[in-house]
Amino acid sequence: MKSPRRGLVKWAERSAAVGAGVLLGVLLTASCQWAPASKADPGEIRVPPPPAPHASAPRRASLHSMGTFESPFVRVAEMVKPAVVNVNTRKRFEHPPIGGDVREDLLREFFPDMPQEEFDFPSSASGFVIDEEGHVITNNHVIQNAEQIDIQFVDGGQYSAEVVGVDPSTDVAVIRIVGGGPFPSVLFGNSDSVRVGDWAVAVGNPFGYLEGSVTVGVVSAKGRTDLDIMGGGPVYQNFIQTDASINFGNSGGPLVNIRGEVIGVNTAINASGQGIGFAIPINLAKEIAQELISTGKVTRAYLGVYPQALTPEIVEGKRLRATEGILVGQVMPDTPAEAAGIERGDVILSFAGIPVTGVSQFRMLVAESEIGAALPVLVERDGEEKEVRVRLVERPDVLAEAPEEEERDLWLGIEVIDPEEEPEVAGRLGVEGLSGVLVSVVERGSSAWDAGIRPGDFIREINDREIEDLDDYQEAERESRSREKPVIFLILRDGFTSYVAVEP
């Protein structure tokens, strides 16, 4: 009979051997970094699967249990890239005379490759095909003044293109590929349903040679307006803002959603490189494109007023009841606004029954209205509300440039002169013979400067008091020196009058 002690010793020995084997296996596996194989080799030791979890225990998903992991943007790129094109243009550039034959000859001796006074300037940007016939949406600034337009697809296909129509007011243009087809085209999304935080994918040809680049971000804001693009900007702005990387050369390319549908036309970037870009909503661009394809131009309605933002300073300074709407800075002669009795200084509260919330929204309301229809306009005038009816006409596309700026001092930082003292300047500014005073100097950092008054502005009124000459100006100045509320100037600039509120 075996003793209990000897049995216990043998059991301990066997346990130690098994434990050593398990420890060795663990060490070997850890040092070799083993991973599950996709297929078992002959003679492989098969580890039985773990027991099925209890019915009440939740299942845990893993990358392995989900199969091969693939970015959803792969499918987006595959859908969109075939319809995205490089838009290559050649534009005629003229540089001014260098300064005499001797100086030019000397410069050309040292710089023989210096271009002549006229030379072709190549440029490259992006666009996307919207139908099988080869119509391409891009930006107006991409093809503006182009003498030659060529198209190149990601697969290398090259074609020439011709302009169908342009709309500088939105910076949308349509060109058509000459020959070939049918062409791959994009799917349209609904930019009105886009939400801040939605995925945004920009596709295009940054820097003109990185064809078919795809960058990813989110929609970071909607309804951006008053952007200054390349020293100017479209009249009608309602941009989608995104942090999907957009660079020079991306202009005209598509901004798409996670389903590969176009939601915008990439148009502007933050040149300082802070990762912010802007796109025209596709609902607007598509509507413009359809009109350009049908008629070659865009027809908009026209009211004939110069709208201004209704700032708190203007509301306080003019003692207005309204806090929302737009201020009429000027009524153009022989326009629907003048015919309807709208006056300078009116606050437009609603247009065609729709409340007015800002300048950009107001411009869009007017532009998209029916030409010839009698539309109600609600205004505030002298503290009372009044409704007038207007019949809009087709809008003439005329834009003004901003005047040059200078600097210096006086009341509120302004110095003025009688326009008769400088008849040549008055004539050049278009104010010769008009009643008022001419701003000759504005001190940088002064109240007037901060409010936006600049040299060359022509002051017509101060606090609703008409300014005929320097005597009127000086009297208005004396009356306003003790004023605590903003001083309201009516200024004339580039043929347009507008109100400016200056904090005392």
Active site residue ranges: 141, 171, 251
SS3 of residue 93 by DSSP: strand
15 Ramachandran zone, left/alpha/beta (phi>0; psi -120 to 50): alpha
8-state DSSP, 33: T
Q: What kind and span of H or E run contains 219? A: strand 213-224
**DSSP string over 445-479:** TSHHHHHT--TT-EEEEETTEE--SHHHHHHHHHH
Q: In angstroms, what CA-CA distances link 445 with 409, 440, 451?
A: 10, 16, 10
- Annotate 242-301 with three-state secondary structure: ECCCCCCCCCCCEEECCCCEEEEEEEEECCCCCCCEEEEEHHHHHHHHHHHHHHCCCCCE
User: Please, what sign has the CA dihedral across residues 353, 356, 360, 363?
Assistant: positive
Dihedral, CA of residue 357, residue 361, residue 365 and residue 368, to nearest 10:
-170
Amino acid symbol at 84 = V
Instruction: Please count the residues of the chain.
Output: 504
CB atoms within 10 A of CB 191: 25
3-state secondary structure of 175: strand
Sign of the C-alpha dihedral, residues 499, 234, 220, 195?
A: positive
Contact in structure between 137 and 130 (CB atoms under 8 Å): yes
3-class DSSP state for residue 490? strand
- Tell me the C-alpha distance between 433 and 443, whole Å: 27
What distance in Å separates the CA atoms of residue 194 and residue 206, rounded to the nearest whole number? Answer: 25
Q: Which residues contact 172 (CB under 8 A, 6 or more apart)?
A: 137, 139, 140, 166, 265, 280, 284, 285, 288, 289, 292
Residue 283 in contact with residue 316, Cβ under 8 Å? no
Of 425, 479, 480, the C-alpha closest to 457 is: 425
